[in-house]
Amino acid sequence: MEILINSFQTPYNTAPFSKIKNEDFIPAIIKAIEEAKTEINQITENSESPTYHNTIEALEFSGSQLDRITSIFFNLNAAETNDDIQKIAQEISPILSEFNNDITLNESLFEKVKAVYNQKAQLNLSTEQATLLDKKYKSFARNGANLNDEQKLQLREIDKALSQLKLKFGENVLAETNNYELYITNESDLAGLPEGTIEAAKQLAESKDKNGWLFTLDYPSYIPFMTYCDNRALRKELAIAAGKKGFQDNNFNNEKIVLKIANLRHERAQLLGYQSHAHFVLEERMAKSPESVQSFLNELLEKAKPAALREFYELQQFAKELDGLNDLQKWDAAYYAEKLKQKLFQLDDELLKPYFKLNNVMTGVFSIANKLFGLKFEEVYDIDTYHQDVKTYVVKDNDGNLVAIFYADFFPRPGKRNGAWMTSYKPQFIKNETNERPHVSIVCNFTNATKTKPSLLTFNEVTTLFHEFGHALHGMLANTTYPSLSGTSVYWDFVELPSQILENWCYEKEALELFARHYETNEVIPMKYIEKIKASASFHQGMQTLRQISFGLLDMSWHGYNPKNINNVKVHELEAFKHTNLYPDVAENCMSTSFSHIFQGGYSSGYYSYKWAEVLDADAFAYFQEHGIFSSEIAQKFKTYVLSRGGTEDPMVLYKKFRGQEPKPEALLKRAGLL
């Protein structure tokens, strides 16, 4: 416990992972909660009249040790979990939920906050201070401070139950992912698969003392199999296995959990005086209301659906001509789309992969960050990590000042959830005239090296790396006073702008030439491939857009209305998808039961924000293109108004300061070929 409670005696005050034992977490968290409560009592028992400094700032910096410990714990639970950590998570989640309620439902604390809030006009606050004051006041009002005692008790019960249900949902999805293996012993069943995928499957089988080849639901195994395997029956088997996570008659079924989460969220929103969970969430988003989200998604649907139907018909015809296929199914989608893409563009991921060695792509993304924002990355080996795969970097500016510590964790393993994300182990903030620099991490699930090849990325994995690195830049370049307004602590529909804009550089010749080199010959990626990458960027954008819209609509269907009459998850889902469905439904499959973004992560009522942020990113990148993609003037403006300001000001105000105008959707529609 002591290792977590005391200041870390480590380089740059980084987390001492190798010295932390699982059993340290619960006592350390309980002790940190006690410390945080003492800090809160100092605010409430202060006999001086409440001021911005002795109340709002004091509250902002209270519990920082607790935040540090819990961020380490929950990051481990996502990237390197095991049965012990999952048990601890189930035990501490309700304790933390209870503690958060203790703060937001503390009447004397709220009275002090309210007293400062009521004199806001006379306080002569900076923009950042005014934002923090608003945020602190709302964090009480939006979490039950104005409720009566009985309602407050009810809110506590709901929050406690939700914290456990969300964890259980995620554990079930991870268990379902880990429990499935497709074991192949007949070599002819591997027809069509890339050599690297086959080698990785053989290595995995060997690691489990099996002869043959093992495929799993982890993305680096699943995606190439679905894209290239000629054996349709096996593609079907794998696709159905992926689609029924949390939807099987076993201990990991998530149907009841989904219904409970949706109903509890609705009950909570109603208790706080909101029409629905979405009304509650969207009050603090750029979109402001479920109605505006719905009309945003419907407007995009109107633009994208004709293109999606055209693309789908074209794909059906292609599969029919190629293989006499009359019933295109979901497990055929990636396979025939890849073949059609190869035919139209003579472009194939396997052709591109040799140019995207992971180490080179990392060097490339660092070079781009240097050209745009003057950052230098030095790999170091004295910073402790939670797994041997994790790389660590010290990030400095051109004058040699420390900017951030950066962790990168790239490969799948049993204790790591699927997907890719950016996270933080320590936020940036300014206290006692010291600018504390952040510790930022990106976590991905890329194809690992094999005995004969280094880790080679598909182009999709390259864009994923750039995406997460864009989030990381948002964290690293943070420069605000308060931790709760720092880095990625912005409105959820603004947070994807830095990540999505960075993906644009993957399609630009000037950028690709910095890092896309053949891993054996060091030859720069040929110009014809760059042209094809660019030309293929809008391939099947109609269907892609429709897919994203469908997820956004599903999210809103769970959270924008009263869910009490929903008693069948699958039936409800089919209704939500009725305007976006292209493929026949698969009876054994259900999306909601493994839709971790909205039932475990923070995207409930917020999935639309991916498309929302695409409007912002296309518009912002068009500004770069007008002045040159490495324009130091535009990069400086982007850094000043978007990357470093965090949540200190309304995002639309910040965007207009950067761009000089509100974003226009035309840039996105043009880029996607939907105009």
Q: pLDDT per residue over 241-295, tens digit each?
A: 999 999 999 999 999 999 999 999 999 999 999 999 999 999 999 999 999 999 9
User: Beta strand pairing status for 429-431 and 421-426?
Assistant: unpaired
Helix runs in 346-453, H state only: 349-352, 358-373
Cβ neighbors of 342 (< 8 A, separation 6 or more) are: 348
DSSP strand E in 365-401: where?
375-380, 391-397
Reading the block at residue 400, the tokens are 């040699």
Give the model confidence (pLDDT) of 457-507 as tens digits.
999 999 999 999 999 999 999 999 999 999 999 998 899 999 999 999 999
For residue 100, the one-letter residue type is N
Which phi and psi (to 5°) does residue 487 adopt?
A: 60, -120
Catalytic residue list contains 98:
no
Residue 601 has pLDDT above 90, yes or no: no
The torsion of the CA quartet 203, 206, 208, 210, rounded to 10 degrees, works out to 130
CA 407 to chain centre: 16
What span, in angstroms and rounded, lies between the C-alpha atoms of 9 and 208?
39
pLDDT of res. 348:
83
b or e along 643-665 (b: 16 or more beta carbons within 10 Å of the residue's beta carbon)?
bbbbbbbebeebbeebbeeebeb
Architecture of domain 2-104+106-142: Up-down Bundle (1.20)
Q: Which helix (H) or strand (E) holds 481?
A: none
> SS3 for 14?
coil
Directed axis angle between helix 569-576 and helix 541-559, to 10°? 130
- Are 467 and 506 a contacting pair, CB within 8 Å? no
What span, in angstroms and rounded, lies between the C-alpha atoms of 205 and 216?
11
Residue 7 has pLDDT above 90, yes or no: no
Helix runs in 477-540, H state only: 496-503, 509-515, 527-535
What span, in angstroms and rounded, lies between the C-alpha atoms of 117 and 121?
9
Residue labelled with tokens 């396979």:
335
Give the model confidence (pLDDT) of 361-387 as tens digits.
999 999 999 999 999 999 999 999 999
What span, in angstroms and rounded, lies between the C-alpha atoms of 130 and 126?
6
Q: Is the dihedral of CA 299, 302, 303, 309 positive or negative?
A: positive
Helix runs in 516-578, H state only: 527-535, 541-559, 569-576
What span, in angstroms and rounded, lies between the C-alpha atoms of 274 and 272?
6
Q: Which helix (H) or strand (E) holds 200?
A: helix 195-207
> SS3 for 572?
helix
> SS3 for 279?
helix
Reading the block at residue 304, the tokens are 């994208």
Q: Domain ranges in the chain?
A: 2-104+106-142, 180-243, 275-560+605-675
pTM above 0.75, yes or no: yes
Nearest 5°: the CA angle 584, 590, 591 is 100
Give the model confidence (pLDDT) of 189-202 as tens digits.
999 999 999 999 99
Nearest 5°: the CA angle 200, 206, 208 is 110
pLDDT of res. 670:
86
Residue 239 has pLDDT above 80, yes or no: yes
Residue 674 has pLDDT above 90, yes or no: no
- Are 231 and 187 a contacting pair, CB within 8 Å? no
Which DSSP symbol is given to 521?
T
- Are 404 and 440 a contacting pair, CB within 8 Å? yes
Which residues does residue 422 pair with via DSSP β-bridges, in sequence order? 442
Mean pLDDT of 572-576: 98
- Mean pLDDT of the residues in the chain: 96
What span, in angstroms and rounded, lies between the C-alpha atoms of 32 and 38?
10
Residue 509 has pLDDT above 90, yes or no: yes
Active-site residue, selected from the candidate residues 171, 311, 468, 614: 468
Q: Indicate the CATH number of 275-560+605-675 among 3.30.1310.10, 1.20.120.1200, 3.40.50.300, 1.10.1370.40.
A: 1.10.1370.40
Residue labelled with tokens 């008790």:
153
Which residues does residue 376 pair with via DSSP β-bridges, in sequence order? 396
| Two domains, one topology: 2-104+106-142 and 275-560+605-675 | no
What span, in angstroms and rounded, lies between the C-alpha atoms of 511 and 513?
5
Which phi and psi (to 5°) does residue 421 adopt?
A: -155, 160
Mean pLDDT of 215-241: 97
Can you give the length of the chain in residues?
675
DSSP strand E in 131-244: where?
182-184, 213-215
Give the model confidence (pLDDT) of 345-368 as tens digits.
988 888 999 999 999 999 999 999
Residue labelled with tokens 């028992």:
45
Which residues does residue 397 pair with via DSSP β-bridges, in sequence order? 375
Taking alpha carbons only, the member of 538, 533, 530 closest to residue 509 is 530
